[in-house]
Structure 1
Amino acid sequence: MSLLGGIRPPIAVLSVLLLTLAGITALTLGKPDNVLVSKAVLTSQQYVAEDGAIALRASLDESVGDLTGTATLFSDGQPVSADTVLDKVGDVYQKWRGTAVIEIKSGNLLAARGENVPLTAIDRSKLAATDGLAPRMVRLENGQTRLVILALLSWKGQPQQLLVASSSLTFPGVSLAGGRAIGVVDSAGRVLSSHGALDGKRARAQLASFAGVAAKKAQQNPLTAKKPGEGGYTGVSGHLTGDATGNVRTIGGYASLAAPVAGESTVASGLGLTVVTQVDVTEHASQLTRPAFGLAAAGALLLIGALTVMVLLGTVQRPLIRLFLESRRLTRGDLARPVTMPRAGEAARVGAALERLRLQLRGAPADTEGPVVRRGLGGRALLAICAVLLLVWSVPLMLVLNRADSSVRVPDQIVRDQKARTATLSDRVRRALNEGHADLSAVAALIGDRTSADDMRTVLARTLEDHPRYQSLYVLGADGKILAQAGATPHHTAGKGPSDKTLEVRDGGKKPVVTATAEAPGRHGAAVVGEFHIEYLNALLGRQGMGEVRVLDGNGRVIGGDSGYRAFQKAPSYVTPLLAKKQAYATVQRGSTVRVAAVAPFAGGGEAKSLRWTVVSWQPASGLAIPEYSLQNRTVLAGLLGLTAAAACLGWLHIVVVRPLRELARQAEALADGDRKTVLYPRHHDEVGAVTRSLELIRQQLQDQRRRDGGTRTPAGVGRN
């Protein structure tokens, strides 16, 4: 017999699967789920750390790009004094704690602004090396750490100069409300910078402990640190659990600085920094299940499974094996005793045909009446009964039991984190727009001194290459004529001069066009205009664990989003009440769907504030690892496993046994009715195939018998119905 075919393997596999599922059910649904800090809260801290790492990496890379880009633009123009360079840099960008210009050959300090830049950390003799101008971290005497950025100023016929800026390791826009603390850690586990709730000795000690653990974990390969197939953050990230005081436990998250695209590298991601966050949460013990439930479900499955297997053994397996033995007896010539017939179904039809064939082998004519077959349930009906029995157990688990309703408890920390992350994202978008306008202001300051359209076009092309946030850059004259242009075709109305709004949104047809305008001094009302890629803004919104994210304008229309949306459509109705708060706010909305929603209008200064944009986010609570939903998911999974086991094994039985048996019954009855010409071929090497081979041997014996009797044609009778 075939190892995979026949009647025995499907029934045996079904028995093993049901026993295994019963054990899994008893262990997973009967195990008390005493959750102190839910997995959703822990995972949320990982996401907060990732937000901080993204903000810090973007800020550092932006600072490096702005300084080097500004130095390049100055170097392409006419020579200017060091004070002029620093004044223009300070007017456009207010991000560096200190700036300075030194002459490389002599080391003389030509100009300085802000706090003292740690110039002693710069080895001027190595500036010509490949990485001589690479940013570096310097630890000051007071224990603080600065990132020192270098850029070359070079004019023909003049000594080379070095533009130096120092920046602190801060987290622009990261919300630290709710007692959260955040820190930057180097590869050795030292805390380089920290902010937030670190007043107590315990908090500082816990952050230092988290820093050591995070630094070790961050040294892993990002590809191997994750589960296979797991996407999300491109760096190494995770959550941490600290000490507890009473019912308050400190938890945290960590994330290494990583490039936006996996496998690539940026200046900031190459510094070996890791972001660590921590917050205190109140532990809640809740017993969601009792062992009796899992044991009862497992016991019910064992009873139903045993009944199902007994039905299959008694009505399918044993009759088929009996037919196999009886057919073998007839082929051996044992014709003395009648065929033992099954009670009903296809097996009974085959048994009746075998009895008629036994009589024909003993010389009876083909139209001899055989035994009467009692009508009963066929093989398909028996499989349907078994399926119903298993569905009685599976369906309640999938659809009824352990349902998490609208009263499910969503941890307060989840709501606070949704609010904080939305506020962080809102500030990230606002700062990106402000940075974009600042870049245009720097370009406009240089464009003002240029009269050649080719020179202006060169500056615009270089800016477009250095800042992929723009899809188009152009210089627009006061009369509405484009004087120079780089990138895609501008969305500009002919004859219309520069807008008096520094940032605005235009209707670009299928998608909105966000434009920034910076007046070029000395060009009689001309301005530099930049059109942002809307995809650039949308890319800022993509965050794990925040659900759906949208950017709305002052009228509540959608400008951008992290997933599919229609431009300028109204925000969902369940977000509208939150917009009336006019401040960062989060809540749990209950109804047919329980969701966590948050809003965060633009806050802070800059040109982007005039847009009056708001970032909103929402996600269904069912997608969070909350204990109630986890129990529901496990219960549904148990039901699905039961349904899968039933479908697989009963379908297997139908394909390899029931369907071939129905065909065998038809062939056996035709042979008993006198069909001696049709050759019977077994489809499978199993019990049904063995009976088919026996019928073929009987057919050959009947043909030989007819030839011995002188070729007398056996009259064909109607036979049994």
Structure 2
Amino acid sequence: MPLLGGARPPIAALLALLLAVAGATALVLGDRDRAGTDTAVLGSQQRVAEDGALSLRASLDESVTDLQRAAALFAGPEPVAADTALDKLGKVYNKWRGTAVIDPVDGTLLAARGENIPLAPLLKDVKGATGAGNAGKDGKSAGPGELTAPAPQLVRLRSGETRMLVTAPLRGGDRPRLLVASGTLNVPGISTGENRSLLVVDSAGTVLASDGPPVARTSWAKQAARTAASNFTRTPEPGGHPGASGHLMARTGGGDSGDRRTAVGYAAAGRAPGENSPAGGLGLSVITSVKVTGDPAAVRTQAFGLVAAGVLLVLALVVTWVLMRTVQRPLLQLYLESRRLGRGELDRPVRRFRGREPARIGAALESLRRQSLGERPTRTGRARGGFGTRGTVIVCGVLLLAWAAPLLLLLNRAGGSVTVPKQLVEDQRRRTDTAADRVRKALNEGWADVASVAQIVGAGTKGTKNDKDAGSGDAKDAAKDTAADRTVLETTLREHPRYRAVYVLDGDGKVVARAGASPRHPAGRKPYPDSVAQLNTSGKEPAVAAYAAVPDGNGRTVVGEYDPQFLVSMVTRPGLGQVWLVDKKHRVIAADRQHGFRAFSKLPGGHLDSLAAKARKDSDGKAVLHRSARSASLAAAAPFTGGGAVKGLEWQVVSEQPTSWLKLPEYTAERHTMLAGLLGVTAAVACLGWLHIIVIRPLRSLADKAEALAAGDRKTVLFPQHHDEVGAVVRNLELIRQRLARPSGRN
């Protein structure tokens, strides 16, 4: 008996794998009723909610950090008057409904602007934070350095509106003061419609803000809020949502009717472990819901899958039978014949074999049997017993590949005629609009930060810059002011990663103080008016800067140049496809990290240019389903709206996402079909390649050695390479060679 190995394992493995592939084909190509389109729409709602959560958290965090940085800029040896601080704050930022300065020790209101701020819950936390240690025995404050501002908190007004209270210590002088601002908790900047609702809820599911049509039932909102408030466990994609998010299909009318379903997406506006987000501890979540009308289409592939599986099953049985008849059985018979001759049983002739290599080896064994009986060795031509074993394996491989290749390359192709729900096109527009709003707000916030720096820089310029007869003392004061300005600029650059450089220009455009990289303001050009300006239209890197004039500064202007990577981070949104930030002539200023960009290049497609031109003309976001012969894509363009410092830029955000990236039923069927074909190719190549390497090649080599031995070669020692059927035949041939090589020539 031959040892385990040889032809049996690869043939058995091939049969088992092909049967498994046939079963998997019938399984994965089954119909998926009410699943395909729902999955794509639900996934899109989850992405919309994630965009909203990131936008909400970024907006709240920016409000907190803006107030803290503004308060830090007022710090100095001499206290800034409370009214002066609020007036300067109001000139730069208009995001807060009300501002105030209070004495945290006794709760005295020192100054206020805007609406009345509910201070009662805040003062309770402030007293708990400051404690008795802030006042000495003489009743005086122990110093503002010991004052700790409480974390941001939400306050519910009697009118039902929700306010976020933000605090920051206002340092300076010998008595602590607290700067307080209240802001409206608004829903994120996602456009809604007659079918979409947007909610901001707390961890208990209480609706704090909403937009769109009213929601009839909120039980699913509470369920989504509880899920979104769970622990953060996943690593975010670049620019993606770091925490809990998901989707669900809510039924608002009961029953199975397709017109009573609501697709819900939710995402927590919290912070990941180790992430610094002041607003992340508020326990807020964003929930978006959209009505789903009609039953989702399902691609019918069950019959196709059963037919494909049946064909593969027949091919598996045929290929296995052929390999057993042409490879495995001849090998076993050759082993038995060679063992008989090796034992000296020479009375029966060697049987004839079919197949080229078995026939050659059988003819050589018959010649060796006759030589053992006393005949002289004679050189004869090769025996031609028919088709070779290598050819048999190739034919079997071709048969299996003929089944797998069409599945992998041709069948069930979705092409460009795939059915795409209108909801996905609308979601592409909404997400692009949200991205544009996010970039616009970030640029405006950057300008506001620069404007706040200009307020501080301007404080040291009054009374000296306009005095033409200033003497040496004034020159020294000016030098001190420049050094102080540089310190403010360095602090601003360190605390604002959005800038690559911050500097001060005089009225002629000359840099008088700077921090960071080399300024790229055009040489010889006067400063731009208060705005965000595009400094170049060509080159390797786009230059964008925020300009804010110094009050009473004799033309001096503070400039903050944005880091190009900051713009890239603003437009990087997972699940939105390729995203570009373009200027008014459709030149690329930034693009998402995944695809990269070449500065000031054109958009990759005439349809995108046309879409951007139409969106600019109508001043509204546009989206289309662009089809070509072999593919389709969702394209959207959204211009900057809402004004602010970026009003003159006329920039847009353009996005395009191939529909093949969506979880639509046609593409699911295509991927499953390709998977079945790939599995078939893998099984055929692996097992037939295994058979060729382990059996076929040694068998062909064995045929050459057997014919050489029959022709009279008695010096070449034969030894097996593997302990299998071929190796057993080689060992028997070596016994025959040793017997024939003895002087007597016979037993």
* TM more than 0.5: yes
Is 1:463 aligned to residue 463 of structure 2?
no
Q: Does 1:439 align with 2:449?
A: yes
- Alpha-carbon distance in structure 1 between the residues aligned to 2:342 and 2:645: 97
What is the CA distance between 1:486 and its match in structure 2?
Answer: 0.9
Q: 1:274 and 1:131 mapped to 2: Cα distance? A: 27
Task: Verify: 1:615 aligned to 2:653, yes or no.
Answer: yes
3-state SS of 1:690 partner: helix
Could you tell me which of 499, 506, 525 is aligned with 1:496?
A: 525
Matches of 1:605 and 1:231 in 2, distance apart?
Answer: 25
CA distance in 2, matches of 1:232, 1:538: 13
Kindly indicate whether residue 255 of structure 2 is the aligned counterpart of residue 238 of structure 1: no
**TM-fit CA distance, 1:126:** 2.8
Q: Deviations over 1:543-595 (max 9, x none)?
A: 12211100111111111110321111111212012123222111111112211
* Distance in 1 of aligned mates of 2:687 and 2:484: 76
Calculate the TM-score normalised by the size of structure 1: 0.92
CA contact (8 A) 1:39 1:625 kept: yes
Tell me what 1:14 maps to.
Answer: 14
Report the alpha carbon displacement of residue 204 of structure 1 after superposing the two structures with TM. Answer: 4.1
Does the aligned pair in 2 maintain the 1:31–1:294 contact within 8 Å? no
**Normalised by the size of structure 2, how large is the TM-score?**
0.89
Structure 1 counterpart of 2:387: 377
Which structure 2 residues correspond to residues 626-641 of structure 1 after superposition, within 5 A?
Answer: 626-641=664-679
Q: Among residues 586, 592, 596, which one is paired with 2:623 in the alignment?
A: 586
Is 2:157 the counterpart of 1:140? yes
Inter-partner Cα distance in structure 1 for 2:722 and 2:238: 43
Q: Equivalent residue for 1:180?
A: 196
Deviations 1:157-178 (A, max 9, x none): 4x21100112232234222235
For these two proteins, the number of residue pairs brought into alignment is: 698
Q: In the alignment, what sits opposite 1:40?
A: 40
Q: CA deviation at 1:16?
A: 1.1
Alignment gaps of 5+ in structure 1: 711-721
Does residue 661 of the first structure (1) align with residue 699 of the second (2)? yes
> 1:708 deviation in Å?
6.5
Q: Please say which of residues 694-703 and 440-449 is displaced more in the overlay.
A: 694-703
CA gap of 1:663–1:369, structure 2 versus 1, over 3 A, is closer
- Structure 2 contact 46–246 (Cα < 8 Å) conserved: yes
Deviation (angstroms), 1:700: 2.1
- Post-superposition shift, 1:316? 1.2
The residue identity in structure 2 corresponding to 1:250 is T
Contact 1:36 1:283 (8 Å CA) reproduced: no
Instruction: Report the CA distance shift for 1:221/1:330 in structure 2 as closer, same or farther (over 3 A).
Output: farther
Maintained 8 Å contact 2:407/2:673: yes
Secondary structure in 2 matching 1:543: coil
Mark the CA change 1:2 to 1:97 in structure 2 (over 3 Å): closer, same or farther: farther
Q: State the SS of the aligned residue for 1:653.
A: helix
Provide the rounded CA distance (Å) in 2 between the counterparts of 1:357 and 1:663. Answer: 18
Q: 2:255 aligned with 1:253, yes or no?
A: no
* Aligned residue in 2 for 1:560: 590
Whole-Å separation in 2 of the counterparts to 1:47 and 1:39: 12
Most deviating of 300-309 and 59-68: 300-309
Does residue 191 of the first structure (1) align with residue 228 of the second (2)? no
Counterpart contact for 1:182–1:276, Cα < 8 Å: yes
Match of 1:522 in 2: 552
Partner secondary structure for residue 234 of structure 2: helix
AA aligned to 1:611 is L
2:431 is matched with 421
Point out the more displaced range, 430-439 or 653-662.
653-662
Letter in 1 for 2:626: Q
Q: Is the 8 A contact 1:215 1:274 kept in 2?
A: no
Shift of the 209–297 alpha-carbon distance from structure 1 to 2, 3 Å rule, reads same
C-alpha deviation, 1:618, in angstroms: 0.7
Equivalent pair of 1:188/1:212 in contact (CA under 8 Å): no
Secondary structure (helix, strand or coil) at the match of 1:268 reads helix
2:128 is aligned with what amino acid?
K
For residues 118 and 361 of structure 1, what CA distance do their matches in structure 2 show? 114
Please report how far the alpha carbon of residue 533 of structure 1 lies from its aligned counterpart in structure 2 after TM superposition. Answer: 0.6
- Give, in angstroms, the shift of residue 367 of structure 1: 2.1
Q: Alpha-carbon deviation of 1:287?
A: 4.2
Q: Which amino acid aligns with 2:227?
A: K
- Are the aligned partners of 1:498 and 1:517 in contact in 2 as well (CA < 8 Å)? yes
For residues 360 and 389 of structure 2, the distance between their equivalents in structure 1, rounded to whole angstroms, comes to 12
Distance 1:489 1:299, change over 3 A: same
Please tell me whether the aligned partners of residues 126 and 132 of structure 1 are also in contact (alpha carbons under 8 angstroms): no
1:4 and 1:406 mapped to 2: Cα distance?
A: 53
Taking a change above 3 Å as real, the CA distance of residues 513 and 98 of structure 1, as seen in their structure-2 partners, is: same
Give the equivalent residue in structure 2 for 1:97: 97
**CA shift at 1:611, angstroms?**
0.2
Residue 284 of structure 1 pairs with residue 286 of structure 2? no
Q: Is the contact between residue 549 and residue 617 of structure 1 (CA under 8 Å) also seen in structure 2?
A: yes
CA contact (8 A) 2:238 2:574 kept: no
Kindly provide the amino acid, as one letter, of the partner of residue 727 in structure 2: G
Distance in 2 (alpha carbons) for counterparts of 1:553 and 1:348: 78
CA contact (8 A) 1:234 1:262 kept: no
Please say which of residues 17-26 and 47-56 is displaced more in the overlay.
Answer: 17-26
Q: State how far apart, in whole Å, the 2-side matches of 1:466 and 1:303 are.
A: 70
Q: How does 1:192-211 map to 2 (within 5 A)?
A: 192-198=208-214, 203-206=215-218, 208-211=219-222
Q: Indicate yes or no: 2:112 matched with 1:75.
A: no
> Contact 2:408–2:678 (CA<8 Å) still a contact in 1?
yes
The question of whether the paired residues in 2 share the 8 Å contact of 1:46 and 1:255 is answered with yes
Letter in 1 for 2:129: L
Counterpart code for 2:401: L
- Aligned residue identity for 1:156: G
Q: Tell me the distance in 2 between the aligned counterparts of 1:232 and 1:386.
A: 48
Distance 1:279 1:287, change over 3 A: closer
Q: Distance in 1 between matches of 2:45 and 2:548?
A: 40
The question of whether the paired residues in 2 share the 8 Å contact of 1:356 and 1:369 is answered with: no
Query: Does the 8 A contact of 2:507 with 2:554 survive in 1?
Result: yes
Equivalent residue number for residue 718 of structure 1: none
Contact 1:49–1:255 (CA under 8 A) maintained in structure 2: yes
After superposition, the C-alpha distances for 1:47-79 in whole angstroms (9 at most, x for unaligned) are: 000000110110011011100000000113753
| Shift in Å, 1:137 | 2.5
Question: Does the 8 A contact of 1:476 with 1:482 survive in 2?
Answer: yes
* Structure 1 residue 457, shift from structure 2 partner: 1.0
Q: What is the aligned partner in structure 1 of residue 312 from structure 2?
A: 301
For 1:263 and 1:105, how far apart are their aligned partners in 2?
Answer: 33
One-letter amino acid of the counterpart of residue 241, structure 1: M
Does the 8 A contact of 1:356 with 1:368 survive in 2? no
Change (3 A) 1:106 1:244: closer
- Secondary structure at the aligned position of 2:217 is classed as helix
Q: What SS is found at the alignment partner of 2:535? A: strand
Equivalent residue number for residue 389 of structure 1: 399
Question: Taking every aligned residue pair, what percent have the same amino acid on both sides?
Answer: 51
Q: State the Cα RMSD in Å.
A: 2.4
Give, in whole Å, the separation in 2 of the partners of 1:698 and 1:74. Answer: 104
CA contact (8 A) 2:521 2:535 kept: no
Aligned to 1:717: none
